[in-house]
Amino acid sequence: MSIDKAAIERGASASLAGLVSGYVALALAELVSAGVRPEAGPVTAVGGAAIDRTPAAVKDWAIRSFGTDDKLVLQLGILAVTALLATALGLLALRRRRTGAAGVLLFGLVGAAAALNRPDSDGFADALPSLAGALAGALVLYALIGPLVAAARAEEAVPAAARPEEAVPLAARPQEAPAAARPGWSRRRFLLLTGAAAALGTGAGAAGRTLTSSRSGDAVASRAAVVLPPPASPAPGPPPGTALRVPGISPFTTPNKDFYRVDTALVVPRVPADTWRLRIHGKGVARELSLTFEELLARPLVERDITLTCVSNEVGGPYAGNARWLGARLGDLLAEAGVRPPSRGGPADQLVARSVDGMTLGAPVEDVMDGREALLAVGMNGEPLPLDHGFPVRMVVPGLYGYVSACKWIEDIELTTFDAYDPYWVRREWARKAPVKTQARIDTPKPFARPAPGTVMVAGVAWAQHRGIDRVEIQVDDGPWQETDLAAEATRDTWRQWSYSWQAAPGTHTLTVRATDRTGETQTERRAPTVPDGATGRHSVVVMAG
């Protein structure tokens, strides 16, 4: 029945109006957030809030399934939900014009609340992108839906029998569908207005993007201008034989572009080096320190190879990397501030690092001051830190998982106690203390590879940072454990490559690897999940020779 046709066209038009008003809202919010703070945009703020509230196991699953794309997936998810809600509000507005528009405003309030509650919120201005966007979206919806509502009312007011379509036999009806909503409604006009709103939105969004990237250009330019001083203490070696030449093995040094990235930042913090400051304060700090980037570079810098590992790394997973870091020794700075470790009577046992994006990470003061190469790093593999990896300054502590030590975009160090303060991840099911667990990984052959029978090079890396790797063994099916050839050790803070020349008989085989650290402990075969303090178990791959 054409009566239904008209209603359906009205519904479709209302949905479209809702969708476009949501689009305009997000686009305008994008533009305003470029002026305020990119992090204050509704998608980023709501996404950040969602990340903070995601259970550890789900977050780990997301990291595992989507890798570094987890953030993209999250943002696309938020956009999809927004589109659905906006469509629903369009339909609601067809029945209740004001309520529909008010619904758009309500979602603006949700975005504003999320932005204000972010740990790095700058205050009221952070609410503006969501509020301005929602206001624009509500007006667009109200305006677009008006004629549709009027048409629907008019339609309902006319008794069915009096409707021309009902009276005229089918064949006699005009071919083009009767205006969905005749009185006062024109499809052409509606589409024109909707298109105009969408175009304005696109313009606003594009302008916002351009503005944001030109602003973040400050940090990019600042990074390009950084001249890293030569280290007062260059990295020793790495000694000859550190790097094996086996195709498919992880290189000893992970190039920056391949280095894994794990953080909660939906917008990478952009900190120009000349605005950077680090404050060191808290319990047992005799002399508070406040350091500029220039002052940090003027200190004697050391260069060290250190392997970083994420606690979310599954057995055999990719979240480990080895880089040559350049930085100032954190232990020396703390000593200058008058800090004593607990073993020498200091009152603070936890060092809480805080980043510009409000992340907090807590490391044992004892570990940071026990002589290991805990660094405030400015350089990574011969370059200033990439923005993704913490420019201008991050922490790196050998032997501790990243989430308790490797604070990127660091701006504050507070000495406190484990009793007094739980940092970000500890409030989310992760352990207070997390030394890296011994792990070995098979890089080649890949799972389900089909090598030709005969000599097959099996190779990979093993790590037990700050203890050192002493032995890596491999087991074929249920056979005896065989020693592999270990590459030379750079330092006990780095991973070590290993290889094994395997005589593969035709058939399906399981290769399993295990490492033993310098304390003599062989990695357990007991499987434990990543939560709360790192996965255990042995990596194995199944291959089909022949």
Ligand X SMILES: Nc1nc2c(c(=O)[nH]1)N[C@H]1C(S)=C(S)[C@@H](COP(=O)(O)O)O[C@H]1N2
Residue 418 CB-density burial (10 A; 0-12 exposed, 13-18 middle, 19+ buried):
middle
Residue selected from 402, 435, 451, 460 as contacting Mo ion according to rule CB under 5 A? 402
SS (H, E, C) 1-65: CHHHHHHHHHHHHHHHHHHHHHHHHHHHHHHHHHHHCHHHCHHHHHHHHHHHHCCHHHHHHHHHH
Q: Which range in 46-54, 115-123, 125-133, 259-267 contacts ligand X by CB under 6 A?
A: 259-267
Q: Distance between CA 12 and CA 355 in Å, rounded?
A: 47
Of these partners, Mo ion, ligand X, none, which one is at the site of residue 9 (CB under 5 to 8 Å by kind)? none
Shortest reach from residue 57's CB to Mo ion, in Å: 15
Cβ-closest position to ligand X: 402
Q: Distance between CA 341 and CA 328 in Å, rounded?
A: 19
Give whichever of 68 and 290 is closer to Mo ion, judged by the CB atom: 68
Helical ranges in 68-186 per DSSP H: 70-95, 97-116, 128-157, 164-167
Give residues 334-393 in contact with ligand X (rule: CB under 6 A).
355, 357, 359, 389
Shortest reach from residue 309's CB to Mo ion, in Å: 8
Rg (C-alpha) for the chain, rounded Å, is 30
Q: Which helix (H) or strand (E) holds 187?
A: helix 187-225
Residue 71 near residue 160 (C-beta atoms within 8 A): no
Of these partners, ligand X, Mo ion, none, which one is at the site of residue 103 (CB under 5 to 8 Å by kind)? none
Q: Distance between CA 196 and CA 202 in Å, rounded?
A: 10
Number of chain residues interacting with Mo ion (CB under 5 A): 4
Q: Taking CB under 6 A as the rule, does residue 310 contact ligand X?
A: yes
Q: Which range in 170-178, 179-187, 399-407, 477-485 contacts ligand X by CB under 6 A?
A: 399-407
Q: Taking CB under 6 A as the rule, does residue 430 contact ligand X?
A: no
Give whichever of 406 and 476 is closer to Mo ion, judged by the CB atom: 406
Residue 276 near residue 392 (C-beta atoms within 8 A): yes
Q: Taking CB under 6 A as the rule, does residue 260 contact ligand X?
A: yes
Q: Distance between CA 63 and CA 319 in Å, rounded?
A: 10
Q: Taking CB under 5 A as the rule, does residue 403 contact Mo ion?
A: yes
Residue selected from 23, 107, 185, 259 as contacting ligand X according to rule CB under 6 A? 259
Pairing between β-strand 383-384 and β-strand 375-380 as defined by DSSP bridges = antiparallel
Shortest reach from residue 455's CB to ligand X, in Å: 35
Q: Taking CB under 6 A as the rule, does residue 411 contact ligand X?
A: no
Of these partners, Mo ion, ligand X, none, which one is at the site of residue 389 (CB under 5 to 8 Å by kind)? ligand X
Shortest reach from residue 214's CB to Mo ion, in Å: 32
DSSP-assigned letters across all residues of 319-362:
-EEEEEEEEEEHHHHHHHTT---GGGT-S--EEEEEETTS-EEE
Query: Shortest CA distance to 86 belongs to which of 135, 17, 142, 10?
Result: 17
The site string for Mo ion over 269-308 (x = CB under 5 A, - otherwise) reads ----------------------------------------
Of these partners, ligand X, Mo ion, none, which one is at the site of residue 303 (CB under 5 to 8 Å by kind)? none
Q: Distance between CA 341 and CA 484 in Å, rounded?
A: 40
Number of chain residues interacting with ligand X (CB under 6 A): 18
Q: Taking CB under 5 A as the rule, does residue 423 contact Mo ion?
A: no
Residue selected from 74, 93, 101, 262 as contacting ligand X according to rule CB under 6 A? 262
Q: Which amino acid is at 366?
A: E
Q: Distance between CA 366 and CA 375 in Å, rounded?
A: 14
Give whichever of 408 and 471 is closer to ligand X, judged by the CB atom: 408
Q: Taking CB under 6 A as the rule, does residue 406 contact ligand X?
A: yes
DSSP-assigned letters across all residues of 137-171:
HHHHHHHHHHHHHHHHHHHHHS-GGG-HHHHS-GG
Give whichever of 198 and 308 is closer to ligand X, judged by the CB atom: 308
Shortest reach from residue 111's CB to Mo ion, in Å: 28
Residue selected from 403, 498, 500, 502 as contacting ligand X according to rule CB under 6 A? 403
Percent helix, percent strand, percent coil in the chain, to nearest 5: 40, 20, 35
Of these partners, ligand X, Mo ion, none, which one is at the site of residue 37 (CB under 5 to 8 Å by kind)? none
Residue 25 near residue 108 (C-beta atoms within 8 A): yes
Residue selected from 408, 471, 492, 539 as contacting ligand X according to rule CB under 6 A? 408
Binding region for Mo ion (CB under 5 A): 262, 310, 402-403
Binding region for ligand X (CB under 6 A): 259-264, 308, 310, 355, 357, 359, 389, 402-403, 406-409
